[in-house]
Amino acid sequence: MAYVIAQRVGIRVEKPADVLKYFTLLAGVIGTVIWGIKALLGVAFSAFSIIPGYQSARLCRNSSY
C-alpha cells in the first residue's frame, strides 16, 4: 500500500532500498532540526545568564516570581 501511495504522489520507489534511502534522509533532517533547537536553547540560556541578578534556572521552574 505504501508503495502505491508513494508512486501516486510522485516518489519513484522500485525496491526496498529506495524506501531506506528516504528514511535515512528523513532521519538526517530530523536530527539536524533537533540539533538546531538545542543550539538555540543553549544560546538563549547563555544570554539570560549574562543578565545580572536573574538566574536562568527561574525560566525552567514553574513559580510565581
pLDDT of res. 65: 52
Nearest-5° angle of CA 47, CA 48, CA 50?
70
Query: pLDDT confidence of 53, banded at 50, 70, 90?
Result: low
In whole angstroms, give the CA distance from residue 22 to residue 28: 10
- Domain boundaries along the sequence of the chain: 15-60
Q: Where are the beta strands (DSSP E) in 1-65?
A: none
Q: Is the pTM of this model over 0.85?
A: no
Mean pLDDT computed over every residue of the chain = 80
In whole angstroms, give the CA distance from residue 60 to residue 33: 22
Task: Give 9-40 pLDDT, tens digit per residue.
Answer: 888 888 878 888 888 989 999 999 999 999 99
In whole angstroms, give the CA distance from residue 42 to residue 1: 43
In whole angstroms, give the CA distance from residue 38 to residue 14: 37
